[in-house]
Structure 1
């Protein structure tokens, strides 16, 4: 029975990913208007996220009810390293605005909604079903939780190699993003285990994605800068910097996890 539930969890993860890819492709093929396409894709992510939470609840009895108590502490204290990345994104990605804040505001609101949907979808899939399936399989020991954290985070990172299909010239950017995502995945998995809240990690994930696109909302889409940002690769030093920062964050997250093991007296 344990093996069967584990396999169902893995299959559920693949189902959620398949639905995501299918919705992205269908929207791209049949919808020409970019705003409508982005809206439909965002809506599909929210719907798939709800399905993911439902599957995790049915398989492992995971409680995904929103609990306001401890939510702020989870985001700003347990997730402090990830909030630091949010601030760092705003600092490192700054570029001189080409349009005013008033004109950029609708884009900012839309980007926030879309990225929160992405955060919710990816967390429901990767922490809700994938992490919990490995957690169920390996057990609640320190070794079991660490395995679940590392494996689910590695899968999360490797999925980002798919970005090469749309931007084949961004090899360094994509490779560093894969390592970056593995480290971020470890942070998110640790925060999820400590807080026992999918909503905390969904918000943190969404904020990281949103702030990485924040300054793009101030770029005129008709200028060469927008095209350059989408197609130009980063330098090796930029890639090493991004990876180094997230690896430090992952180390801090594992220290937090070790302390949590001590509090729970996990063997």
Structure 2
């Protein structure tokens, strides 16, 4: 009975997450009647929608009593810094390597961009690593290879939901597929990081920095965006292979962290609160 109930909530959380995000479209259309800057309209609509999802996620965390699993009462240990050193270096290179883009964006657009991305990191980590992952762990608590399979399933759900971007970009299947693969890889890493550090703030921080470092196209002037889109229409096989290699490396980092996790300790954190 409990297994079916948990499975039901996994479906509700995943579908509800996607449905609430879709609410940004009519919100954006409504805002467009009052604001002229299309980029700011897009970000404000995203912020409004994600605030609703964040509130819903916090309510569900309290409902399932996952507070301790998410890091309540957590104690700092320097060993938890080791898993984030490499991703921090990679993201820092992406940010500081194109610092002019952030400087030229303007204070208003940059503020909205940063606020929107911290909300993206919060809602996606709370929804998937904070709710879906522990629910899968509870469902599969008696199974072998519990941790890695649960992290992988969570990452798969997280990644596949990115195919919803096809409604926005129907002619960009290959590009969206690349997003899905990256989301699955980073989902495995963030799942491993969550279980290893036992604190949701670490995945949120890394997720936020990745978004800021690799999602800055909205900050570019329109002419730069057009040039970038035209330049990316061809297939760069070397670049594709390197990218896939990077995705695999990221996923392996998550697998390594999962192998260091105590199964009993994580299950105790999840079940003690219940």
- Normalised TM-score (structure 2): 0.79
Q: Which residue of 2 aligns with 1:46?
A: 51
Match of 1:131 among 133, 142, 166: 133
The 2-side partners of 1:56 and 1:131 are apart by 12
CA contact (8 A) 2:129 2:154 kept: yes
Give unpaired runs (5+ residues) of structure 2: 268-274
> What does 1:223-238 correspond to in 2, within 5 Å?
223=223, 225-229=224-228, 232-233=232-233, 235-238=236-239
The 1-side partners of 2:71 and 2:102 are apart by 39
> What does 1:225-264 correspond to in 2, within 5 Å?
225-229=224-228, 232-233=232-233, 235-261=236-262
> What does 1:46-195 correspond to in 2, within 5 Å?
46-63=51-68, 64=70, 69-70=75-76, 74=80, 76-90=81-95, 94=98, 97=100, 101=103, 104-139=106-141, 143-195=145-197
Give unpaired runs (5+ residues) of structure 1: none
Deviations 1:89-131 (A, max 9, x none): 3377x49x5x792654443332111111111111111112211
The 1-side partners of 2:118 and 2:73 are apart by 18
Q: Which residue of 1 aligns with 2:270?
A: none
Deviations 1:213-245 (A, max 9, x none): 34753x323x2x213435744633323222211
CA contact (8 A) 2:156 2:184 kept: yes
SS at match of 1:139: coil
CA contact (8 A) 1:115 1:206 kept: yes
- Normalised TM-score (structure 1): 0.81
Q: Which residue of 1 aligns with 2:24?
A: 24
Note the aligned Cα RMSD (angstroms): 3.2
Distance 1:150 1:103, change over 3 A: closer
CA contact (8 A) 2:166 2:172 kept: yes
CA contact (8 A) 1:180 1:246 kept: yes
Deviations 1:140-169 (A, max 9, x none): 876112121011101111122222332334
The 2-side partners of 1:100 and 1:193 are apart by 33
What number of residue pairs does the alignment pair up?
Answer: 258
